Amino acid sequence: MPLTLYKMGWLAFSKPTVGTVLYIAQTNSRTTGRQTYPVVEYNTGRHKLTASGDYNLPYSAGDPYPIRYNQFNETDTRLNTFWGCWIDTMIWNTIFTVIISITFLVDGIVPKESLINLSLKGIKFTEKGIGH
């Protein structure tokens, strides 16, 4: 999946560090209600930066916060945990897989006359229409 390759590239060119939670900020909205998030300070070796952490995690001011940052764009950060690095990729890959599965496995979405037929028996390629 292309998203997995992108994430693997991002991880290969990112660096881990441990930041410090400066304070807990909050946001309010009609749809999601009150949410809190840590504001984290981290050091890249060249700069000392701040970033907003993930919502509704149990952090307090002064807590260490594991973070990964893109070494070519130091403000591009993720929480340095499995879920922090991979959850968005897993969600988008699942959506992509479901859409592709529905497209090929539900009769009538891909016409039977198409060059590629995908069924539970396997993929069949036909020569109908090639070169004509």
- CA–CA separation, 124 and 118 (whole Å): 6
Query: Structure pTM?
Result: 0.69
CA dihedral 31, 36, 41, 42 (to 10 degrees): -70
């260490």: which residue's tokens?
64
List the pLDDT tens digit at each of the 132 positions of the chain.
677 888 898 899 999 999 999 999 999 988 889 999 999 999 999 999 999 998 899 999 999 999 999 999 999 999 999 888 888 889 998 998 888 888 777 766 666 666 665 555 555 555 554 444
Phi (first) and psi of residue 77, to 5 degrees = -125, 160
